[in-house]
């Protein structure tokens, strides 16, 4: 059971799932996606906060839709809801501390790029988009 009623978070989830992100609900799903598979995986730690709504989710959608290169797989976990799935994703994001929202790019199971909350709330939308597109160019 999460911190928020599902009816409240459903449209927030849909903001990313409608853009092609797969919602991971269990630690097993997270482990299956991040455990050294070939290719690139973009993980969005979604949140109900304002910087997720005004910057993180729009930046994710803009970067993915406008990049020539993009990750092979797009996934999301929801902070404050599926705690075990989020904890498993964060294990893979070490040594970075827990942060939501946050965005992580993995290549062949290895964390290669991380955008923490302070990178999101302290930047404008286009800078975040450019950061993501640069990472896609370098690693995808």
- The pLDDT tens digits for 48-73 are 988 989 999 999 999 999 999 999 99
Active site residue 51: yes
**What are 33-51's pLDDT values in tens digits?**
999 778 999 999 999 988 9
Domain that holds residue 29: 6-139
List the one residue out of 99, 91, 92, 94 whose CA is nearest residue 47. Answer: 99
Angle, vertex CA 38, rays to CA 35 and CA 43, nearest 5: 60
CATH of the domain at 103: 3.40.30.10
In a domain, 100, yes or no: yes
Active site residue 140: no
H or E element: which one contains 20?
A: none
Rounded distance between C-alpha atoms, residue 42 and residue 49, angstroms: 20
Could you tell me the pTM of the whole model?
0.94
In a domain, 1, yes or no: no
Residue 31 near residue 54, CB atoms below 8 Å: no
Confidence of residue 93 (pLDDT cuts 50, 70, 90): very high
In a domain, 13, yes or no: yes
Active-site option among 24, 34, 41, 51: 51
Say how many domains are in the chain. Answer: 1
């Amino acid at each position: 059971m999460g911190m928020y009623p599902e009816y409240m978070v459903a449209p927030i989830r849909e903001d990313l799932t409608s853009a092609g992100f797969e919602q991971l609900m269990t630690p097993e799903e997270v482990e299956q996606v991040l455990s050294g598979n070939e290719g690139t995986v973009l993980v969005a730690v979604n949140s109900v906060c304002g910087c997720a709504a005004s910057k993180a989710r729009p930046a994710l959608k803009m970067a993915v839709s406008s990049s020539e290169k993009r990750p092979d797989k797009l996934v999301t976990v929801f902070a404050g809801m599926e705690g075990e799935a989020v904890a498993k994703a964060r294990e893979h994001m070490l040594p970075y501390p827990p942060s939501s929202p946050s965005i992580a790019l993995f290549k062949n199971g290895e964390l290669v790029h991380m955008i923490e909350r302070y990178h999101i709330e302290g930047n404008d939308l286009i800078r975040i988009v450019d950061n993501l597109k640069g990472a896609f160019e370098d690693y995808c």
